[in-house]
């Protein structure tokens, strides 16, 4: 009788132990969270096709995941799909994503789509919220790009003064004067008017700082 009791106790102990072992070996992280982490890892490796696929998986599993829409929006943008990038960035914001990244993405979308007023609004918002903004998953995308977008957008809206102000934020050594034609030079080339030299400087800065073509 005592032997049966001991065996029963041992059996119950093994069941409890196996149950505990199962919880140790099973990863409690939800599949959507693991897929999101994997998506950002591919994104950081600039493998935007794979990152896109992973973000798609997250959205399929969790349609309310605002971060996944932001990530997929960046994949769309960097894969030259402006229309879908705009949709995803806007969706990310609408679903409550609080980081500045979708606003920075929208600024890039709008300036690339010649929607300059909207580009100014988004880029100014990013810099107002954080003058030293850096995209955590791609540090080469940062506040300098916002200044570049603003220099471009203000130029195309005819606000040369604000355009020049953001040029100075990128390169304080640039000295040109709208009222002094002797300053309308770049790399030894004399330009015919202020707008031309301003655009030439923006093009040069775009080659240096721009992250998106």
- Flag whether 158 is in a domain: yes
- Global pTM? 0.84
- Flag whether 76 is in a domain: no
Give the model's pLDDT for residue 23.
40
- The band of 211, judged by pLDDT with boundaries at 50, 70 and 90, is confident
Percent of all residues in the chain with a pLDDT value above 90, rounded to a whole number: 80
- Flag whether 99 is in a domain: no
Among 13-17, 117-121, 155-159, the minimum mean pLDDT is found in 13-17
- Flag whether 167 is in a domain: yes
92 with 73: CB under 8 angstroms? Answer: yes
The domain in which residue 154 lies consists of 131-213
Give the model's pLDDT for residue 121.
98
Buried b (16+ CB within 10 A) or exposed e, 151-160: bbbbbbeeeb
Give the model's pLDDT for residue 213.
61
For residues 175 and 179, give the distance between their C-alpha atoms in angstroms, rounded to a whole number. Answer: 12
- Flag whether 169 is in a domain: yes
Q: How far is CA 45 from the centre of its chain?
A: 14
- The band of 29, judged by pLDDT with boundaries at 50, 70 and 90, is low
- Flag whether 211 is in a domain: yes
- Flag whether 179 is in a domain: yes
- Flag whether 162 is in a domain: yes
Structural domains in the chain (count): 1
Average pLDDT in the 191-203 region? 95
Percent of all residues in the chain with a pLDDT value above 70, rounded to a whole number: 85
């Amino acid at each position: 009788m005592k032997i049966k009791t001991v065996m029963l106790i041992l059996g119950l102990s093994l069941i409890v132990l196996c149950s505990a072992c199962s919880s140790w070996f099973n990863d409690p992280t939800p599949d959507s969270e693991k897929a999101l982490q994997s998506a950002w890892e591919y994104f950081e490796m600039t493998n935007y096709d794979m990152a896109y696929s992973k973000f798609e998986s997250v959205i399929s599993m969790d349609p309310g995941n605002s971060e996944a829409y932001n990530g997929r929006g960046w994949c769309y943008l960097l894969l030259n799909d402006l229309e879908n990038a705009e949709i995803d960035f806007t969706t990310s914001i609408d679903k409550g994503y609080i980081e500045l990244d979708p606003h920075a993405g929208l600024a890039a979308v709008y300036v690339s789509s010649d929607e300059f007023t909207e580009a100014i609004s988004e880029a100014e918002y990013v810099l107002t919220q954080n003058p030293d903004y850096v995209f955590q998953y791609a540090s080469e995308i940062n506040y300098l790009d916002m200044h570049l977008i603003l220099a471009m957008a203000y130029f195309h809206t005819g606000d040369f003064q604000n355009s020049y102000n953001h040029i100075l934020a990128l390169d304080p050594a640039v000295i040109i004067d709208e009222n002094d034609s002797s300053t309308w030079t770049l790399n030894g080339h004399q330009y015919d008017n202020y707008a031309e030299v301003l655009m030439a400087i923006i093009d040069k800065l775009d080659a240096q700082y721009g992250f998106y073509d």
